[in-house]
Chains A and B, each alone.
Chain A
Amino acid sequence: MTAVAAPPPRPLWRRLLGFNLLTALVLGVGGWYVGWFGAHAVKGLSIAYFADTDYNELSVVMAYIGGVVGFLVGLGFLNYPIARMRGYPPSLREKETHGWTRYFSLCTDHKVVGIQYLWGIGLFFFIGGLNAMLIRTELLRPNHQVFPAGTYLTIVGMHGTMMMGMMTSGILGPFANYLVPIMIGARRMAFPRIEALTFWLLMAAGTILTSTIFFGGFPTGWTGYAPLSNEGNPGMDNYLLFFALVGISMTLLGLNMIATVLTMRAPGLTWTRLPIFVWGVLSTAVLMVLAAPVLIATLGMEMLDRTAQTTFFVAAGGGSSYLYQNLFWVFGHPEVYILALPGFAIVLELLPVFSRKPLWGYRLAVGGLLGVSLLSWFVWQHHLFVSGINGDLRPFYMLSTELISIPTGFTFLCGMMTLWRGNIRFTVPMLFCLAWFFNFLIGGLSGVFLSDVPSDVTTHGSFFSMAHFHYTIMGGLVFTFFAAIYYWVPKMTGWELNERLGKVHFWTMFIFFNSTFFPLFIAGFEGQPRRVVTYSSHLQFLNDWVSVSAFLLGISMLVFLFNLVWSLAFVKKPAEANPWSSRSIEFQLPSPVPVHNFDRIPVFSSDPYGYGEGPVPTWVAPAGAPAGSE
């Protein structure tokens, strides 16, 4: 093989003038004003449907749409479509760039996009976490003290919406983008530009949601229920645009993942040899492709209600707010599994490595993942049990919701059986995986109460349901997110994370997570409602306990942040190529992985879980085997 030398880097000032984040921000602000004044021009035409004020909904919507377009133009996303419209043939990649600046521009290397996702989502995850700290500060006293009720609602809404929106791509964004092509023996994702687009759309979305505070915030929490959403401040439009952009990003991300796995597997990588992580990504991606469009359509209707005076969700105009609830949860419940399934997959992927045993019941585990994915479409009305739905519908949705515990149980069973008599190594990633069993068990069992009509009627809208979904989402997804970080970041960056600090992070997070959320079950049973700034004074001790625990939980995140910055920016201890003695293919590559992934496309001869079954496969490739051929 002859290596072509990388082109010499251009001077910094020259790089700053091109299509990059700086240009994107400038054009984004410019586009925002173009949209704003454009909307005012529409108002100048005296079209009756657009409210005749300086601060109307259309202005905000148009401004942000203009801003997003300008942002994407600045990053260079329109260059390729324009070249194609002029008749230039298809190509795969943008101009290759080197050094740190590629992380601030449109880059079509899937590994760069994975790392962009990790830091970008991490930033908004941090903002969402700060909002949680503000919520708990407010709830230190039974009567409101720090924020007015409206501001409190906005903070609650921003926390929930940011977390739910961003974490939909929490695993698939950083880890699937980085790892799936490698795990299947490919050199790229199916559509590298779309891959980059999903990331930058998410960043634009996060900025839009954060800026809701300049437009009065929104009172609806993360669900955006009508009719409250119809009556909300212009900040409500930020919510709608945020979630619509997240929906577009999710759809494209899922589509790209499925197309990649379907069409680009290396020779020998049959469906039964596919790493379980890829199966998890696939089952999640199917949900993304099918559920997110329903969300986009729903938010589109809401946006039309607010800007063009349609009446989809306005009862006085022939619409119905229940329509919103139905449509939102058609997306919303699969969304919960979009969050949970990648967590399952990470646990199942890591357990064999740290138990030194093959994955028990591979096909059962795959069936579990696909079963959850399928059943998640038939449960949405359990969110409407107390909304006055037809009583005859309740038993079906109760049953279907409870049925979903069966495929979820497959995951538990396969995980536990993999641990059974294994040679367990208590590394940091393994500790996070083991914590998942504990947390998700509590989350799952408390879910039975919410799927049961009689107990749901009592606990719906209380802190009980809030504690339940924090156990499933934070206990299920965020713990595995950290497992993935500790497991794969050394491979992604080429530098080790400090293990001692990692264990401090784990134990503080595990203890204070449970100390924060378990008491909220009791608060819920005692009748404390969600999204209300005041509560009964007899619940103050519980709430103070929870608040202090939440602050300590926040400190555990700072331990992680310190570890990340300290290890990656200061210590920079080179990571071994295969620090965990894994049989998975990504660990047979140098750290970090070269730009082209493989010199020759590998040929798979087994699954990656044959621990105790002889040496690691060599993936001998026939000379010149084409990329993606099967």
Chain B
Amino acid sequence: MAEPLAYEGTGYEIVEEEPPEVLGRNLISASYLLAGATAFFFIAFVFAYFYLRSLNNGGLWKPHGVDASIGWGTAVVACYVLSAVLVRLGLTDHRALRRAQWRQKGGAALLVGVVGLVLQVIAWTHQSFGPADGGFASVYFGWTAFLFLFVLGTLLWLEMTFATSLRYRTMETQAPPPGHASGDPHREAHDIRDPLSLVRAELVGLSFYWTFLAGIAVLSWIVLYLV
């Protein structure tokens, strides 16, 4: 008689101390998948852009005076790209075990990203047109608004990774106290063994996704400001 695959009961110790590599793989795969989903989200805006532009319904695609300010647009996109580059460089530092340098670059990336968001808000209020001023105006405000939300979410992810590195900066080789983040007072151990080691996997996923999103920002810059 073969040994059963499981017994009834709730032995939590079985699900504790999972190797961190598993969640690491989950995170990296998820960042690729999220990039795929994000691409299809913005394809809808690219489609809308070219559809309305080629249709030019009633000559209202881009009426006279509707031109997005290239200065503001360039500043915003430059911040996004710079932030993504800093995260990538921070990942290189983290891989080389230069944790202090990673934290510096991570903090700078966060700051630059937030500056980009603030500049975007200012840019909206300084345009010479409003959302009701034709097809281009609709695409401009819709695209930049949703990109704003995606960037905000990515910066929150960066903040979480950065905050963990900062909080445990003096004990990076030690695990935090058992059950620190499990949320269950009855747990006597982490549900992931050595959860701090996941900073690397988070950074790999984050860096990929942020670079991808910065690429979309560059695309938006080309389409909305240059073409």
B14, CB-defined interface residue at 8 Å = yes
**Pairwise interchain contact A258-B192, C-beta atoms closer than 8 A:** no
Number of interface residues of A (CB under 8 A): 85
**Pairwise interchain contact B34-A84, C-beta atoms closer than 8 A:** no
CB-CB < 8 A to B9: which residues of A? 3, 594
**Pairwise interchain contact B198-A89, C-beta atoms closer than 8 A:** yes
**Pairwise interchain contact A318-B52, C-beta atoms closer than 8 A:** yes
What is the 8 Å Cβ interface bit string for chain A, positions 589-622, against chain B (1 contact, 0 not)?
A: 1100111111110100000000000000011100
Q: How far is the CB of A292 from chain B (nearest CB, A)?
A: 8
Which of B8, B10, B37, B40 contacts A255, CB < 8 Å?
A: B37
**Pairwise interchain contact B47-A258, C-beta atoms closer than 8 A:** no
CB-CB < 8 A to B52: which residues of A? 312, 318-320, 323
Q: How far is the CB of A254 from chain B (nearest CB, A)?
A: 8
**Pairwise interchain contact A590-B6, C-beta atoms closer than 8 A:** yes
CB-CB < 8 A to A629: which residues of B? 19, 22
CB-CB < 8 A to A188: which residues of B? 15
B60, CB-defined interface residue at 8 Å = yes
**Inter-chain residue pair count (beta carbon < 8 A):** 267
* Shortest Cβ distance from A255 into B: residue: B33
Interface residues of B in 35-55 (CB under 8 A from A): 36-38, 40-45, 47-48, 51-52, 55
What is the 8 Å Cβ interface bit string for chain B, positions 123-154, against chain A (1 contact, 0 not)?
A: 00000001110111111011001100000000
CB-CB < 8 A to B195: which residues of A? 89-91
**Pairwise interchain contact B6-A596, C-beta atoms closer than 8 A:** yes
**Pairwise interchain contact A291-B29, C-beta atoms closer than 8 A:** no
**Pairwise interchain contact A264-B191, C-beta atoms closer than 8 A:** no
CB-CB < 8 A to A7: which residues of B? 186
**Pairwise interchain contact B30-A318, C-beta atoms closer than 8 A:** no
**Pairwise interchain contact B167-A259, C-beta atoms closer than 8 A:** no
CB-CB < 8 A to A292: which residues of B? 37
B94, CB-defined interface residue at 8 Å = no
A293, CB-defined interface residue at 8 Å = yes
Give CA–CA (A84, B47) in the complex, Å: 37
* Shortest Cβ distance from B197 into A: residue: A89
Interface residues of A in 556-603 (CB under 8 A from B): 585, 588-590, 593-600, 602
If the complex has contacts A1-B11, A3-B10, are A91 and B190 also in contact, measured as CB distance less than 8 A?
Answer: yes
Main secondary structure of the interface of A (DSSP, over half): loop
A233, CB-defined interface residue at 8 Å = no
CB-CB < 8 A to B12: which residues of A? 4, 96, 595-596
B183, CB-defined interface residue at 8 Å = yes
Interface residues of A in 473-522 (CB under 8 A from B): none
* Shortest Cβ distance from B43 into A: residue: A294
Which of A2, A96, A317, A318 contacts B184, CB < 8 Å?
A: A96
B70, CB-defined interface residue at 8 Å = no
**Pairwise interchain contact B192-A309, C-beta atoms closer than 8 A:** no
Q: How far is the CB of A16 from chain B (nearest CB, A)?
A: 19
Q: How far is the CB of A244 from chain B (nearest CB, A)?
A: 12
B26, CB-defined interface residue at 8 Å = yes
Q: How far is the CB of A607 from chain B (nearest CB, A)?
A: 17
A410, CB-defined interface residue at 8 Å = no
A423, CB-defined interface residue at 8 Å = no
**Pairwise interchain contact A49-B130, C-beta atoms closer than 8 A:** yes
A219, CB-defined interface residue at 8 Å = no
**Pairwise interchain contact B142-A310, C-beta atoms closer than 8 A:** yes
Give CA–CA (A595, B159) in the complex, Å: 33
Give CA–CA (A626, B130) in the complex, Å: 57
Give CA–CA (A135, B25) in the complex, Å: 49
**Pairwise interchain contact A263-B58, C-beta atoms closer than 8 A:** no
If the complex has contacts A301-B48, A308-B141, are A87 and B132 also in contact, measured as CB distance less than 8 A?
Answer: no
CB-CB < 8 A to A84: which residues of B? 160, 163-164
Interface residues of B in 164-208 (CB under 8 A from A): 164, 166-168, 176, 180-186, 190-192, 195-196, 198, 202
**Pairwise interchain contact A93-B191, C-beta atoms closer than 8 A:** yes
Give CA–CA (A379, B185) in the complex, Å: 53
Q: How far is the CB of B156 from chain A (nearest CB, A)?
A: 7
**Pairwise interchain contact B5-A259, C-beta atoms closer than 8 A:** no
**Pairwise interchain contact B45-A588, C-beta atoms closer than 8 A:** no
Which of B5, B14, B19, B139 contacts A619, CB < 8 Å?
A: B5
Main secondary structure of the interface of B (DSSP, over half): helix
**Pairwise interchain contact A318-B58, C-beta atoms closer than 8 A:** yes
CB-CB < 8 A to A619: which residues of B? 2, 5
Which of B19, B22, B37, B168 contacts A89, CB < 8 Å?
A: B168
CB-CB < 8 A to A83: which residues of B? 181, 183
Which of A1, A317, A626 contacts B7, CB < 8 Å?
A: A1
Give CA–CA (A590, B47) in the complex, Å: 51
CB-CB < 8 A to B190: which residues of A? 91
**Pairwise interchain contact B6-A594, C-beta atoms closer than 8 A:** yes
Q: How far is the CB of B10 from chain A (nearest CB, A)?
A: 5
Give CA–CA (A156, B192) in the complex, Å: 49
A45, CB-defined interface residue at 8 Å = no
CB-CB < 8 A to A154: which residues of B? none
Which of A290, A318, A330, A596 contacts B15, CB < 8 Å?
A: A596
**Pairwise interchain contact B183-A319, C-beta atoms closer than 8 A:** no
If the complex has contacts A264-B22, A310-B142, A318-B138, are A95 and B183 also in contact, measured as CB distance less than 8 A?
Answer: yes
Q: How far is the CB of B39 from chain A (nearest CB, A)?
A: 8
If the complex has contacts A263-B29, A320-B57, are A598 and B6 also in contact, measured as CB distance less than 8 A?
Answer: yes
If the complex has contacts A290-B36, A596-B6, are A49 and B168 also in contact, measured as CB distance less than 8 A?
Answer: no
**Pairwise interchain contact B60-A318, C-beta atoms closer than 8 A:** yes
Interface residues of A in 70-107 (CB under 8 A from B): 79-81, 83-96, 98
What is the 8 Å Cβ interface bit string for chain A, positions 292-320, against chain B (1 contact, 0 not)?
A: 11101110110011001111100111111
**Pairwise interchain contact B23-A90, C-beta atoms closer than 8 A:** yes
User: Considering residues B40, B61, B135, which has the most beta carbons from chain A within 10 angstroms of its beta carbon?
Assistant: B40
**Pairwise interchain contact A4-B45, C-beta atoms closer than 8 A:** no
**Pairwise interchain contact B5-A318, C-beta atoms closer than 8 A:** no
**Pairwise interchain contact A598-B5, C-beta atoms closer than 8 A:** yes
* Shortest Cβ distance from A251 into B: residue: B37
* Shortest Cβ distance from B30 into A: residue: A259
**Pairwise interchain contact A590-B8, C-beta atoms closer than 8 A:** yes
Which of A86, A92, A590, A595 contacts B23, CB < 8 Å?
A: A92
6 A-B residue pairings within 8 Å (CB atoms): A4-B10, A6-B10, A91-B182, A263-B29, A290-B40, A597-B6
User: Residues on B close to A: CB < 8 A?
Assistant: 2-15, 18-19, 22-23, 25-26, 29-30, 33-34, 36-38, 40-45, 47-48, 51-52, 55-58, 60-61, 63, 130-132, 134-139, 141-142, 145-146, 156, 159-160, 163-164, 166-168, 176, 180-186, 190-192, 195-196, 198, 202
Top 3 nearest A-B pairs (CB, nearest first) are A318-B60, A87-B167, A297-B44
User: Residues on A close to B: CB < 8 A?
Assistant: 1-4, 6-7, 49, 79-81, 83-96, 98, 187-188, 190-191, 251, 255, 258-260, 262-264, 289-294, 296-298, 300-301, 304-305, 308-312, 315-320, 323, 326-327, 330, 585, 588-590, 593-600, 602, 618-620, 626-629
9 more contacts with CB within 8 A, not counting A89-B180, A316-B58, are: A4-B11, A264-B22, A290-B40, A297-B44, A318-B57, A320-B51, A590-B4, A590-B7, A628-B22
